[in-house]
Chain A
Amino acid sequence: MIQVVFHALGGQGAKSAAHVLAEAAFSEGKEIQAFPEFGPERRGTPVRAFVRISESRITTHEPVTEPDYSVIIDPSMITADRMKGTCIVNSTESIDEIRKNTGFKGPLHVLDALKVSQYANLPMLAAFVKVSGVVRIGSVIKHAEEMFGDKAKQSIDAIKKAEGLVR
C-alpha cells in the first residue's frame, strides 16, 4: 500500500489533487481511499488531503502518519515537520537550499509550480506522478479533464509541462 499526503492552504486544491489521483488509480484497477483532514471550513488555513493506493482491499481508517510521499503545494508550508517519506515540494529554491532550511535529508524533488500555472495543485500532482510512477500520467490527465470541465485544457497543459520541469 502507498500512502500520500498533500499539504496546502484551504482553497488551493489539495482535496481536488487527491481526488484526481484516487480516480486515476481507481481507473487503473487499484483499490483507493482518499480523504481530507478537516477543521471547520475556512479558506487560507493549512489543510491536508490523504490518498491510499493498494492492490488489495483497504480496510483501515486510521490517519496517515507515515506517508510514503509528501506533496507540499504551498511554499510557505515547506517545514521539517511536514517532510516525511519522499518529498515533492513547490518552491523557487534549489534542493540544497531547501535541505539547509529544513534539515531534511531524505529523497527530495522540487517543482517551481508557478512557472507552470497559477494553480499549483495539478502541476504538483503531475510532479508526484512523475517521481513515484504510482499511476500513469495519462490516467491523471483523463480524470483532470473530466473533473475540471472547461478549465480542463489549462489543467492538462499544466500537468504536461510540470512533468518535464520537476527536478
Chain B
Amino acid sequence: MRQPLTGAEAVAEAMRQLKPDVVVAYPITPQTPIVEKYAEFVADGKVQTEMIPVESEHSALSAVVGASAAGVRAMTATSSVGLALMWEVVNAASGLGLPIVMNVVNRALSAPINIHCDHSDSMGCRDAGWVQIYCENGQEAYDFTILATKLAESCAVPVMVMQDGFITSHSVESVDFLDDHKVEAFAGKYRNPNGLLGDNPQSVGPFSLPNSFFEFKVRQEQRMEKAKSMFLSVGKELEKLTGRTYSFFEEYHLKDAEAIIVTMSSTAGTVKAAVDKMRQNGKKVGLLKLNLFRPFPYREIREALKHVKSIAVLDRSFSFGANAPLHGEITNSLCEIKNSVHGTAANIHGSVFGLGGRDMFEKDVENVFDALLAGKEPEKFIGAKA
C-alpha cells in the first residue's frame, strides 16, 4: 500500500510492524517524530510494546541493551549528540553481540550546536562494530529498518539505519508499505533462549583479561564479516516481498561513465537528477550510491569502479586531519588497482559538502562532474564560504 509519509513516520510504521517488545525513547531533534509517532501507537493500543521514556540517550541505549540481553527485540532512535552521548554503550552493544536496531537521523555533532543534517554523528562511531546502512529516502529507511531487524537477529550484530535529518526525516514522499502480516512473517518473533530471561540464561559482560579479550574481539569481527553476506541474503528474501532489490550499492549509469560521483543518502537523489540532465546533453556521467557503509564492501566497489577514470567522492562529514570517511574507504578499495580500461590508476578526488545542513544543489553536482570531465579537481569544500 502506498502512502505519503515523512521518513520519520515511515520508520515508526516499520517499527510498529516489527513489534519490538521494548522501545526506549529520548527526544532529540530531528529524530523526535519517530519516537513521538511510536508513543502514539502505544498510547492507542496499536502495538504492544513496553515503552520507557528515559532521561538521557546513555540511559536509552543502556535500557535497550538490557532488554536485548534479556532476550527480546528492543529498539531506539537518536541523532547527533544523542548518539555521541551513547557512544560508550554503542561499543558495549556490539561487544556483547546484541541484535539491536537503532534508527539514526543524521545531524551534525556539536560544537557549535547545529540541528541540521550531516553525517558526523554516525561516522563518529563507524569503528564501533555496528552494521551501518545509509538510506536515500523514506522508502529505503522503511525497507532497511525491516531488513536490519532480520539481519541483526541472524548475525548477533547491532545495526544502525541512517536517514538525513530534515531532508528525509521531515520530508513527505510516497512510501510503499507491506501488509502487517507480511512483515510479521518476514521478521518473525525474536526470543533468545540464552538471554537473561531465557530457558538457558547466560551471564552478560564479564571481566576479560589480556589472555581472553583478543579472541572476543576477533569473534566480534567475524560476526561483522558474516553480516556482509547475510545482508545480501536477507535482502534477497525481502526482495520477494517488495519487488525492490537490496545491494551494497546502487549503480546509476555507471557502466559507460567517464566521471562518477560516489556518495550516500539523500544527496544521491540530487546526483541522480543531475546525472539525468547531463546525460541528456551527452555527458557520460554516473553515480555509485553506497547503502552499506559497514561492513565496507571493498572488493565489490573495486569491481564496480575499476573501469572509471575520474571519481569524486562526496562526504558529508570531516575526518579531521585525514581523508574524509567515504573518501578514505573508496581510496582503500582502489589503492592497488590499475584501471582495467585506461591502464592507469583512477583519479580519486575527495570533497566535503553539506555540513550542518548547508544545502547541496544540482548545480553544485554538475560543477563536480564538469571538473572531473575537464581533468580538474572539484571544489574541496562544496558550498562553504571559507
Contact = CB atoms under 8 A, between A and B. Distances in A.
Given A22-B4, A32-B172, A33-B173, A62 B359 contact: yes
Nearest to A143: B4
Contacts of A35: 166-167, 170-172
B270 A59 contact: yes
Interface in A24-51: 26, 31-36, 38, 40-41
B360 A33 contact: no
Contacts of A41: 29
B5 to A, nearest CB: 10
Interface string A119-138: 00000000000000000000
A118 interface: no
A26 B4 contact: yes
A95 to B, nearest CB: 32
Nearest to A18: B172
B173 A32 contact: yes
A23 to B, nearest CB: 6
Given A35-B167, A61-B167, A22 B172 contact: yes
A80 interface: no
A32 B171 contact: no
A19 B173 CA distance: 10
B269 interface: yes
Interface in B340-386: 359-362
Interface residues of A, number: 21
Contacts of B269: 59-61
A40 B371 CA distance: 36
A62 B362 contact: yes
A62 B360 CA distance: 6
Given A22-B4, A35-B166, A40-B115, A63 B171 contact: no
Given A60-B269, A60-B273, A36 B359 contact: no
A58 interface: yes
Interface in B152-182: 164, 166-168, 170-174
A63 B270 CA distance: 10
Contacts of B166: 35-36, 38
Contacts of A18: 172
A58 B171 CA distance: 12
B171 A34 contact: yes
A54 B167 CA distance: 18
Contacts of B359: 62-63
A40 to B, nearest CB: 6
Interface residues of B, number: 25
Nearest to B268: A59
A19 B29 CA distance: 20
A62 B115 contact: no
A28 B173 CA distance: 14
Nearest to B169: A35
B356 to A, nearest CB: 12
Given A35-B166, A38-B166, A62 B361 contact: yes
B31 interface: no
Given A22-B4, A23-B4, A35-B166, A61 B174 contact: no
A93 B172 CA distance: 34
B120 interface: no
A26 B269 CA distance: 20
Interface in B65-115: 115
A60 B4 contact: no
A18 B359 CA distance: 21
Given A26-B4, A59-B269, A32 B361 contact: no
A2 to B, nearest CB: 15
B270 A33 contact: no
Contact of A61 (B2, B4, B270): B270
Contacts of A31: 174
Contact of A60 (B29, B30, B116, B362): B362
A61 B361 contact: no
Contacts of A38: 30, 115-116, 166, 170
16 contacts: A18-B172, A22-B172, A23-B4, A31-B174, A32-B172, A35-B166, A36-B166, A38-B30, A40-B29, A59-B270, A59-B272, A60-B270, A61-B267, A61-B270, A61-B360, A63-B359
Closest 6 CB pairs of A and B: A35-B171, A60-B273, A59-B269, A34-B172, A61-B266, A59-B272
Given A23-B4, A61-B360, 12 more contacts: A22-B172, A26-B2, A26-B174, A36-B166, A38-B30, A41-B29, A59-B269, A60-B269, A60-B270, A61-B266, A61-B269, A62-B360
